[in-house]
Amino acid sequence: MSSLTASPETSLSRCPAGSFGWTPLISTAGLFFLIGFVTWLNGPLISFVRVAFSLSDIGAFLVPLAFYIAYLLFALPAARIVSRTGLKSGLALALAIMGAGSALFGQCVVLRSYPGALGGLMIIGAGLTLLQVTVNPYVSLLGPHDRAAQRIAIMGLCNKFAGILAPIVLAAMVMHNISGVAEQAQHAASSAEREAILSSFTNAIYWPYLGMAALLGVAACAVFLSNLPDLDPPEALALSAPGFHITPRLGFGMVATFLYVGIEVLAGDAIGTYGQAFGMPLDQTRFFTAFTLFAMMTGYAAGLCLVPRVLSQERCLVLSCVGGMFFAIAAYLTTGYLSVLCVALLGLANAMIMPALFPMAIRDAGRHVPLASALLVMMFSGGACTPQMFVLLKPYIGVQTAFLILAISAYLVLLGYGMWFSSPSETRKSA
């Protein structure tokens, strides 16, 4: 999940806008690639931990819960850290924290400690929260404000491309025989033999995660020692800041963001579990997250061409919600691979919701845009709750019904927000 949260007017760069050249932009695009890669590993990880630790769906879906709850816990502390360190040092610190979490996750998986592995994912999420809070205003300050949308578009494409690669890379390196491992463990002659099979399987993830930790550590040092421009961070954030209050636009925007991120994560991370409900093997479902991300990247590219030339951001949000409801209903009315395809196509509908939703939510925040942005980042914790609700509901009402109820509920709220807060009367009220 990436937050393309430009919050520019409240921060001043130490260098004239537009004087930085291409190097900082390319470096920052690389950071967005890392954000996408790390975030969208969660989909195949759900299948991995289910086999490696012999978990139920509820236990396996603690993966997105541990990861996304970090946004709720650490968004405001992260913003305070950035206000003290500056944006460049904040980027380096965020990468170092993510590296530490990756190393802890790999080590705890090898030691067969699931609570420790979840702790590692939460640390990765904390570092990612700091990176999100830091890198978004950094992008907005790297050049002229009137071209910020183009820079944000580049970052979004890098993020989604990494999201497509992440499940494919992990599946190829670690999970290439996951169905065979699950079957061997299930039919093992003794608990010792079963443990040996699963230990061999979990050892395969150690070096990839250790390598990712090393890469993140190198990236942290490179950012810290680089000649990237050091930009002034947003002012320190506090909910008691003079003149700040949560307006209806921002408050309902927080609810909408919570629900949107939940359904985005559900369509990306739970699509494998959704496919398994139709009897599809793990060797196939491990790649399904990449399909959702490919659809999302396609939608994002289409949005870049259509908004605002053909559609306004608000109209795009409304149409995206209608499209999301259509694909959710189609998934419910079909079965097998066609139903899974409809779930993947939710990525197409979801792509342009956040780029439209975020600016709408912070429109009347004035000089408190950084604080409003941090509150919206906290709402990314919806990615922790919605998947858990899905696995709790599906044993009682079925996988398709559970998915439909959660998706339609989210899209209806988002549709209402888009229609109400983009109306002329509401615009005048909140101006």
Residue 13, in any domain of the structure: no
Asked whether residue 283 is domain-assigned, the answer is: yes
Cα–Cα distance between 49 and 141 in angstroms, integer?
A: 40
DSSP 55-81: --HHHHTHHHHHHHHHHHHHHHHHHHH
The amino acid occupying position 202 is T
Q: Mean pLDDT lowest for which of 112-116, 166-170, 343-347?
A: 166-170
The most confident of 28-42, 177-191, 347-361, 381-395, by mean pLDDT: 381-395
Confirm whether 328 is domain-assigned. yes
State the average pLDDT over residues 285-312. 86
pLDDT band at 311 (very low <50, low <70, confident <90, very high): confident
pTM, rounded to two decimals: 0.84
Is 80 domain-assigned? Answer: yes
The confidence score (pLDDT) of residue 146 equals 46
In tens, the pLDDT along 109-137 reads 999 999 999 999 999 999 989 888 777 66
Give pLDDT, residue 257.
95
CA angle 83, 355, 229 (to 5 degrees): 35
Domain presence at residue 17: no
Q: How confident is the model at residue 98 (pLDDT cuts 50, 70, 90)?
A: very high
pLDDT tens, position by position, 36-71: 888 888 888 998 999 999 999 999 999 999 999 999
Domain of residue 248: give its range: 22-421
Count up the domains in the chain and report the number. 1
| CATH code where residue 43 lies | 1.20.1250.20
Quick check: is 9 in a domain?
no
For the four alpha carbons of 398, 283, 41 and 36, in that order, the dihedral sign comes to negative
Rounded CA gap, 40 and 44, in Å?
8
| 330 in a structural domain | yes
Is the pLDDT score of 249 beyond 50? Answer: yes
Q: Is the pLDDT of residue 325 over 80?
A: yes
Give pLDDT, residue 254. Answer: 96
Residue 212 inside a domain? The answer is: yes
